[in-house]
Amino acid sequence: MDPTSDTEYKPGPLHGVTILDFSRVLSGPYCTMILADLGARVIKIERFGTGDDTRAFGPFIENDSAYFMCFNRGKESISLDIKSPRDRELLERLLDTSDVVVENFRPGVMERLGYGPERLAKTHPHIVYTSISGYGHSGPYSELPGYDMVVQAMGGIMGLTGWPNAEPARVGTSIGDLGAALFAVIGILASLYSRSHDAQGARVDIGMLDCQPHCWRPLWRVLTLKVLYPPEPVTTIHRWRLLRPLWLRTASL
């Protein structure tokens, strides 16, 4: 902070909270980016040798990925080889002083590394352990990898975009990843508040598919009641038709 600035620095509401971020690409990093914006200290654990996958995503500003910088701003970063005894010792010390763990691997990966939720619940019961995956850590699809486009299709949101008599279209942004990240933030904040009463950590398990119906639930209610739309796929052009009378009235003013 510029000491000559007239604006006084005020710590965010999560000042003093430490997040250990094992996640990569989008859903996890977006979640921890929001937590960092709220004042938390986020320590990003990156893969030894290569780092986060998105470090290789273009466009680049000089040698740095703009994509990576966008979703990992305000974080600290350390590269660890979790199979190395020395690095595992360091990771254990980081866990001792962390409040939240965030990961978005496929279910079972963190367990194989020795840092699954059951183990940490015994050794570090104060930690809020947060997982983001395609379909959650239970159920028939839990072992399947989760991709944004697949989750959009299965969740039904692709039926809201596109044109009549055409194939469903993917939403332009990665709403599957971003929606899951936002619900993860909600779960983390609620768990931290609960911990302030009983000093106990919690398990937050977010499935990307579970979050999709909540992203378009108001429209789902309208479709169910058949108030505004006929019983047919709701596409971009139908929403435009709904707004057309308002547009015509505005244009005539």
Indicate which residues carry an active-site annotation.
177
Q: Are 160 and 219 in contact (CB under 8 A)?
A: yes
**Cβ contacts of residue 38 below 8 Å, gap of 6+?**
12, 13, 14
Tokens of 38: 């709220």
Number of alpha carbons in the 13 Å side-chain half-sphere of residue 222: 14
Instruction: Name the residue with tokens 């979640």.
Output: 31
Q: How far, in Å, CA of 178 to CA of 172, rounded?
A: 12
Where would I find the beta strands (DSSP E) of 104-211?
128-133, 202-207
DSSP bridge partners of 133: 207
CA torsion sign, 103 to 49 to 35 to 29?
negative
Eight-state DSSP code of residue 141: T
Main-chain phi, psi angles of 48, to 5 degrees: -65, 130
DSSP SS3 for 129: strand
For residue 11 the two structure tokens come to 């710590």
Token pair of 154 as six digits: 């299965």
At 169, give phi and psi (nearest 5°).
Answer: -120, 140
- Please list the residues that pair with 100 across neighbouring strands: 19, 128
